[in-house]
Structure 1
Amino acid sequence: MVIFSLLLLSGQSAATLLGRLYFDKGAKSKWMATLVQTAGFPILIPFLFVSPTKHGIAQSNQTKPPSTLILVSFYTFLGVFLAAYSMLYTIGLKYLPVSTHSLICASQLGFNALFCYFLNAQKFTPFIMNSLFLLTISSTLLVFSNDDSGDSNKTSKGKYVIGFMCTIAASAGYALNLSTTQLAFRKILKETFRVVMNVIIYQSLVARCVILVGLFTSGEWRNLRREMKEYELGNVSYVMNLVWTAVTWQVFSIGAIGLIFKVSSLFSNVISTLGLPIVPVLAVIIFQDKMTGVKVVAILLAIWGFASYIYQHYLDDLESKPKSRIVNDVSVVERA
């Protein structure tokens, strides 16, 4: 679980900053910026041939294997959905300062909680409710502040609103994707290392095909060569930005889906919000984004909300240990 969390946090932070760097240095193609979010999946194919040890991800779901039609439908749904909210995410990142964009993404936790309640029978305790409330408020605060004059990404008020709405919609889409994936693991998918890789690879393959259609239909592909030549950091840096953005998004995907598998989609989303303080601080250093008072309050609320959620998991762990001990004692007695 720790490894998956580190992969999620590092991949998310690096991919967000690289995405902002892409637009800041002169690139303009929204479709290309969206494509690299899913294009890195081939690097995961060798893992399909890795046989995990007995101590790795276990196969705890012994349900009947789903039919090919169900699997194709499921992966197609996830892929199309991934392409849609990835484009919305890209538009938000283009029109908003990276610090503001990252904090608004905290709203995905509130959406995820709602979807988990209906799809995954998630139980809500006072500490979880407090966590969701604080994390949602931390992003909502940013609606009332468009004081970004000192930020690297200067946009009109109209584009700011478009960026905000697209980021909210992308957060809702991502949350629904997580909850649907958790439901699939519980109902139709066998919980194995290979299946986790399949979910990432096949949904990314479908998403890439959808985005490629958009790239060529929109005509943006004609401007890519000129965009690379005009990139402020040079041709090599342009290519390396796209390559490493693709890689870091796949690192993030492994961490996110791994946490869904090991714990829950809501926990995966909470770990994602842990990256909120990381990205804005790095954005201030790298992109000279302005750290306003509203952003500072939003970060503190996000940290408080995360701590509240982790404390609930700590209480759950304390409660489960006596039960596990009783079960083990009974097993020992029965064997005797």
Structure 2
Amino acid sequence: MSDNAEPILTKDSSSTDLPFAKLKSWQWWLLVSLNIVLLLFGQFAAVLLGRFYYDKGGNSTWLATLLQTAAFPILFIPYFIIGSSQKPTETANSASRLHVYLVYIVLGAIIAGDNMLYSVGLLYLSASTYSILCATQLVSNAIFSFFINQQKFTILILNSVVVLTLSASLLGVNGDSTEPSGVSKGKYVIGFVSTLGASALYSLILSLMQLSFQKVIKKETFSVVLEMQIYTSVVATGICIIGLFASGDWKTLHGEMNTFSTGRLSYVLTLVWTGVAWQVCAVGVVGLIYIVSSLFSNVISTLSLALTPVAALIVFHDKMNGVKIIAMLLGIWGSISYIYQNYLDDAKVRKTRTTAEAPLNDSIC
């Protein structure tokens, strides 16, 4: 997302409509911190549970893809609670509503494809390699933001792009002996390319969502953000269900559950908690979009991915050779560079706003 963009809610010209306008600074930061925790722990849990599913006998990439959106009904809870306190989204006419629905359908289809690429990547890569490769999404984020959202490059952004590219390149030449057992070199390449493609597609989705908010929906409240998440998930889930049955994967699920190495109950709980974890992560993502900005949400997500190898080391005892450690540190460095750029832009916006409001306050006095 655009580094120079203000938080979504500050784009509304009427500050009285902003739900956080009257919050004190510490209250605002508390909300930000809460959503960061949701995103971090949701993403940690989702990635690790996804790897656990494959390690213990799961094989269906369609099921793993379905789990990334299937628990969307959970989002109706905050939607109804928060939506009841806000005005419903208004569209000018039926044509406008049709455009909004078309946006949901197109984005939902792209999300389904993106989730499939992520599932293939996690099938053939260790959790640590997968997570570090996913951190390259900031590289494609900068590229798509430049062409779609008119993002201007800065030294810090260029530094982040170069560093994260180096991080992925190191892993690309270090795919030996550190990946799941039974994964051939060819399958490793498929997982590597799929994960890079998924990261690029994820960044494209974020840029298209921003463009849709600005050009089609034209109203950015928390309810609208949740609607975007819910309805695109409905479309993505529908596509995954069709794929699950069309591919014949559904026929193997019962046998997969019976042969799951940790038991049938563990199999069911793994699926349930994987779906819940992805939605917890989604709540954190949309929460940060709502409170701060889409860019900040993406940066925290990328930082989480850069730190996931540590969790993978503890949980799965992933091998952490020197090259992989350097790649992880480069990923963290690149993410921090992006975060610092966002901090500078936010400070500049606040300073400009304070300067602009000063003459108005003086005239009132």
TM-score relative to the length of structure 1 = 0.92
Among residues 172, 193, 198, which one is paired with 1:165 in the alignment? Answer: 193
Tell me the SS of whatever aligns to 1:39. coil
Q: Is the 8 A contact 2:66 2:237 kept in 1?
A: yes
Q: Is the 8 A contact 2:133 2:195 kept in 1?
A: yes
Tell me the SS of whatever aligns to 2:305. coil
C-alpha distance in 2 between matches for 1:47 and 1:150: 41
- 2:253 is aligned to 224
Does structure 1 residue 180 correspond to structure 2 residue 208?
A: yes
C-alpha distance in 1 between matches for 2:280 and 2:333: 26
C-alpha distance in 1 between matches for 2:92 and 2:167: 43
- 2:137 is aligned to 108
Structure 2 residue runs of 5 or longer lacking an equivalent are: 1-31
Tell me the SS of whatever aligns to 1:50. helix
Does structure 1 residue 314 correspond to structure 2 residue 343?
A: yes
Does structure 1 residue 89 correspond to structure 2 residue 89?
A: no
Alpha-carbon distance, 1:153 to partner: 4.1
Tell me the SS of whatever aligns to 1:275. helix
C-alpha distance in 1 between matches for 2:145 and 2:178: 38
CA shift in 2, pair 1:240/1:19, >3 Å: same
C-alpha distance in 1 between matches for 2:258 and 2:323: 38
- 1:156 is aligned to 184
Does structure 1 residue 305 correspond to structure 2 residue 340?
A: no
C-alpha distance in 2 between matches for 1:179 and 1:114: 10
- 1:266 is aligned to 295
Alpha-carbon distance, 1:277 to partner: 3.7
Q: Is the 8 A contact 1:152 1:287 kept in 2?
A: no
CA RMSD of aligned residues (A): 2.2
Q: Is the 8 A contact 2:160 2:333 kept in 1?
A: yes
Amino acid in structure 1 at the alignment position of 2:313: V
Alpha-carbon distance, 1:20 to partner: 0.3
- 2:164 is aligned to 135
TM-score relative to the length of structure 2 = 0.85
Alpha-carbon distance, 1:103 to partner: 0.8
Amino acid in structure 1 at the alignment position of 2:183: T
- Could you give the per-residue CA deviations for residues 134-155 of structure 1, whole angstroms, max 9, x where no partner exists? 12221221111112x2544441
C-alpha distance in 1 between matches for 2:310 and 2:182: 18
Matched residues, percent identical?
A: 50
CA shift in 2, pair 1:255/1:13, >3 Å: same
CA shift in 2, pair 1:98/1:234, >3 Å: same
C-alpha distance in 2 between matches for 1:335 and 1:228: 70
CA shift in 2, pair 1:314/1:53, >3 Å: farther
Amino acid in structure 2 at the alignment position of 1:305: G
C-alpha distance in 1 between matches for 2:173 and 2:109: 33
Amino acid in structure 1 at the alignment position of 2:257: M
C-alpha distance in 2 between matches for 1:161 and 1:172: 17
Amino acid in structure 2 at the alignment position of 1:27: G
Tell me the SS of whatever aligns to 1:67. helix
Matches within 5 A, 1:324-335: 324-335=353-364
CA shift in 2, pair 1:262/1:136, >3 Å: farther
C-alpha distance in 1 between matches for 2:349 and 2:222: 26
Amino acid in structure 1 at the alignment position of 2:211: L
Does structure 1 residue 8 correspond to structure 2 residue 8?
A: no
Alpha-carbon distance, 1:53 to partner: 10
C-alpha distance in 1 between matches for 2:348 and 2:178: 49
Alpha-carbon distance, 1:272 to partner: 1.4
C-alpha distance in 1 between matches for 2:180 and 2:151: 40
Amino acid in structure 2 at the alignment position of 1:229: N
Structure 1 residue runs of 5 or longer lacking an equivalent are: none
CA shift in 2, pair 1:63/1:224, >3 Å: closer
Matches within 5 A, 1:146-295: 146-147=175-176, 149-189=177-217, 190-295=219-324
Amino acid in structure 2 at the alignment position of 1:298: A
Amino acid in structure 1 at the alignment position of 2:192: F
